[in-house]
Structure 1
Amino acid sequence: MPPRARPLSPDDRLDQLVDVTLLLLREHGRAVTTKQIAEAAGVAEGTIFRVVDTKEELVDRAISRAFTPGAVVERLEEIDPTKPLRQRLVLMTSILQQRYRATFDLMRKVGLVKPPVHDSPEAELWRARLAELMVRVVGRDAERLTVPPQEFCHRLRLLAFAGAHPHISDGHYLEAEAVVDTVLGGLLAPFARSETVAITQDAACS
């Protein structure tokens, strides 16, 4: 039997139990039991029901936490702005895709067909912070782009999401390096790109 957890305030205990429940949901899905949660948290099973009324309430809180990008934000904040642009973008994309894949796996485990609605002011703040940090990763290299950095990051995130989704990608995942190279350089060879520019200019003049 694991050692008993140290005493915590009700709010801190709930926070701990939500984290433990989320880890167990990734392994067992909704079949996880309060006994398993209690053992993993190092508490008596009755302790759970001092902070929540039902197991379902704890499960719902854990699932909601999984869609809060706190850990992603922290990791993006740690990206070294002095590294080359491509290296920064690959790291950022890797962080995003790890998050997406973990989310898709959790949704499959718990039987979710779509993410829960997050329209609270707190959720809006998280989304704004995430968008801000992505632009910050681009940094001064934004002047090298043909679109505003916000649009660049939007396209990068869309491709990262699609490349990490098991159904959208048909199981052929698009890794971070491929996502970044596609967004940075496109897929046309240099000579073909020049021809396309010329055709576009001719069409505009006609």
Structure 2
Amino acid sequence: MESKKIRKFKKIIILLIVLLIISSYFNYQYYRYKQKESYKYEIFLNHFYFSVNYSINILDEILNEQLISEQLNKKIMRLVYFLNEADHLLSESAFYIEGVNSRGTTFFKLVSNVISYGTEYEGNKITAFLNDYKINQSERAYLSELKKYLEDIHSKLYSDETGQENPNISKYVFNHEIIPSANEDYILLNQYINSK
């Protein structure tokens, strides 16, 4: 009788050990997965932060220097490049980073398109900023408002501790408090129209 209990007890112990080993394996795999996700998110934040940072620097040059013809066009093309980079990061992030939302067309893409191709807004034709090799008053107002948006994003991403992006920003905060909604581009368009 006693030996039956001992055998049964040994079987239970062996079963528990096997379950513990299996559980440990899956917990370790899950831990590695979460670490990789965290690492990918940190890299994403870093690249996004620098796209915004470079855009602000270029806007400073465009708005504060007397650039002419080719110099101005090169700066505007660089600005469009970094706006498109921010758009690409946001658009593609949902495919490789869990929890970062892609909401279709982004604010950055809409702004980039207005600068590159122009648009029509409330019956007003807005031409591409590259058309005449100079920044007019309306374009300056648009770019100044864009700079305010980017500076706001930059300040929310910035960490005094790292001197650049804060790697501890949650995905919720990033999605809902940092990234402007695509339809907020109307504020920039209103600045353009109202400064004529």
Same fold (TM over 0.5): no
Larger Rg: 2
TM (normalized to structure 2)?
Answer: 0.30
Higher relative contact order (CA 8 A, sep 6+): 2
